[in-house]
Amino acid sequence: MTRYEQIAAELRRRLDADPTPYPVGSHLPGYSQLTAEFSVGRGVLTEALGLLALEGRIRIVDRSGALVLDPAAPRQPVDVGGQVRRNELGYIFNAAAGHWRPLAPPPRRWLPAPPRIARLLDIPAGNEVLERHRVVGPDGHPVQIADSYLPVTLARGTVLEAASTGPGGIYDRLEHDLGHGPLTWHPRVGAAAATPEQARDLGLSRGTPLLALARISISGRTGRPIEVTITYLDGHRFEVTSQPITRDDTARWPTTPATAENRPAAP
């Protein structure tokens, strides 16, 4: 193992000890103490702590050192399944987020469409899109980033550029004011490592695994994609849920056990 892997293994051993010197909710010793104990520079220690942060064992907090987390804590479910709900604010795609609110007015900017956004919107890469960046959560605590992208041909010079788009948000504007109702939505589930900016917005360590949940809005008038929202959630705190797995007719019970005679030959 490299030196930083050795340090991570020793800190992991201490975290798993019974009793542990670092219970959940406490902080690891500071950088100065740990670099002196292990006779390494700050860079090596940062690599070691980064491994533990990626595992969800700690969260690196500026000025406060590393906060010890509970890796066995149950994750909150995120429903990306088949039903959209509605409350006084508009559409809700994750039932648990119905009471979450933006922490600040959303920054907006025009930018060339990143390749993935261009593909999801079915527009040429580099075409201008409007990005609306929102950080939301309960009781003023940041939990989710939601970045929405709208093509220039749709959004330029409209209320979609405003900080507040009114009751129902951008979806009510798209459906009622701009004539694209009823919208339908196609979900995509992926993952990403937290960028420095995302880590700052959510209070996470850089590189923390994030759920990246894309939602493509399809116009009811043209049948084309007209908006994409990608929401980011801490992958250590949330997990995607879906409907139970059902059996196709080819998998009805009782099944025929695989044997040497009926097992397909290796290619």
> Would you give per-residue pLDDT tens digits along the chain (267 residues)?
899 999 999 999 999 999 999 999 999 999 999 999 999 999 999 899 988 988 889 888 766 679 898 988 888 888 776 788 888 889 988 877 778 899 999 999 999 999 999 999 999 989 999 999 999 999 889 999 999 999 999 999 999 999 999 999 999 999 999 999 999 999 999 999 999 999 999 988 888 899 999 999 999 999 999 999 999 999 999 998 877 888 899 888 987 776 655 555 655
Contact 58, 203 (CB under 8 A): no
Cβ-based neighbours of 218, under 8 Å, separated by 6 or more: 183, 184, 185, 186, 224, 225, 226
Full set of structural domains in the chain with CATH: 3-68 (1.10.10.10), 76-241 (3.40.1410.10)
Contact 232, 249 (CB under 8 A): no
Q: How many of the other CB atoms lie within 10 Å of CB of 132?
A: 23
Instruction: For residue 228, give the H/E element and its range.
Output: strand 225-234
0.85 exceeded by the pTM?
no
Token couple for 23 = 């219970």
Rg (CA), the chain: 23
